[in-house]
Amino acid sequence: MKAKYYFLKAVFWLLSKIPFWFYHGLSTLLGFFFIKFKLYRHKVVMDNLSKSFPDKSEKEIKEIAKKFYYHFVDLLIESIKAFSFSKRTIKKRYKINTSPEIQKLLDQKRNLAITLPHFGNWEWSAQGFNFMTDRNQPFGLAIYKPLKNKVMDKLMKENRTRFKGSLMISKDHVYKEIRKRQEEHIIVGFAADQSPNNPYNSYWMQFLGRETGVFYGVEKFSKQFDLAVVYAHVKKVARSRYEIDFELIAEEPNKTTYGYITEKHMRLLEADIYKTPHLWLWTHKRWKRNKPSDYKQKRQS
């Protein structure tokens, strides 16, 4: 395992040194092949888009899919490039705009829950959020689902936390890690837009015109640990260049009603998707589970 780890680490580092201009040319070529030969979950992408945008024509759906695959391949090469990013590079290519409202919370040493969906580029967030402010920078906890391949899992964790000030935590250890560090100044990153495994532990709502099960973790943990909830709007301003704007959802989460935080961050994502639909991760089988007929009875029991 050690030999494989060091070999792959060296390979990824060498690949990461290839300049962006070359990768963007390669990405354009690969994107063409993805579209031309309908590679990688093409049916899933087309089905998701068609059902999410029933008013759009077949031509419009195909155009969104085309733009999505070009962006998707860009995202793959961006993941590789991050293996040798300097602080200067990540700050330039993943620019974070901290509003006075959010800076005020940071100056107060408030702990934050940041909802960052699979929109634009989420791969650079663990590195980029290390530099979200010039003063009172919190320690970052990024929640993730461990990879089955232990070598790749280790490489991914090391790469995303190369800069001091952040830690990748398994989704199964969220409560333990937040509780251990709640007296520190922390931000907790949630990617809460994918499909929950357990439909009974989901919050069900209308999303993109369909009944959708949503992770309730952002709301649950923000109330449990008094985390001010912030949504991250991600804009792709150019190839491999992003800007992030934060929007405050709830400064005092325990004063919100049940479902407010969950509904709010999903509504903000929905609005972002309607603006630039090709930047969301359409390859995910988002609606593979339906709301159980006995959901209410089991939730109340």
What is the DSSP annotation of the chain? -HHHHHHHHHHHHHHHTS-HHHHHHHHHHHHHHHHHTT-SSHHHHHHHHHHH-TTS-HHHHHHHHHHHHHHHHHHHHHHHHGGG--HHHHHHHEEEE--HHHHHHHHTT--EEEE--SBS--TTHHHHGGGS-SSSPPEEEEEE---SSHHHHHHHHHHHT-SSSEEEEEGGGHHHHHHHHTTS-EEEEE---S--S-GGGSEEEEETTEEEEE--HHHHHHHHHTPEEEEEEEEEEETTEEEEEEEEEESSGGGSPTTHHHHHHHHHHHHHHHHSGGGB-TTS-TT-S---TTHHHHHH-
In a domain, 37, yes or no: no
Q: Tell me which residue of 172, 162, 71, 179 sits closest to 124, measured CA to CA.
A: 162
CA distance 264 to 257: 11
Quote the pLDDT of residue 164.
87
In a domain, 72, yes or no: no
In a domain, 76, yes or no: no
Angle at 124 between CA 214 and CA 230, to 5 degrees: 45
Cα Rg, the chain, nearest whole Å:
20
CA distance 134 to 173: 30
Please, which residues have CB within 8 angstroms of residue 29's CB and are 6 or more apart in sequence? Answer: none
Q: Tell me which residue of 194, 261, 272, 278 sits closest to 234, measured CA to CA.
A: 272
Strands 210-214 and 228-238: unpaired
The pLDDT tens digits of the residues spanning 15-56 come to 999 999 999 999 999 999 999 999 999 999 999 999 999 999
Q: If pLDDT is split at 50, 70 and 90, which confidence band does 182 have?
A: confident
Range of the domain at 158: 86-290
In a domain, 94, yes or no: yes
Token code pair at residue 245: 């704007």
Tokens 């689902």, located at residue: 145
CA distance 53 to 110: 39
In a domain, 205, yes or no: yes
Quote the pLDDT of residue 301.
55
In a domain, 75, yes or no: no
The pLDDT tens digits of the residues spanning 99-130 come to 999 999 999 999 999 999 999 999 999 999 99
Over pLDDT 90: what percentage of the chain? Answer: 90
In a domain, 43, yes or no: no
The pLDDT tens digits of the residues spanning 264-300 come to 999 999 999 999 999 999 999 999 999 998 988 877 5
Tally of domains in the chain: 1
In a domain, 66, yes or no: no
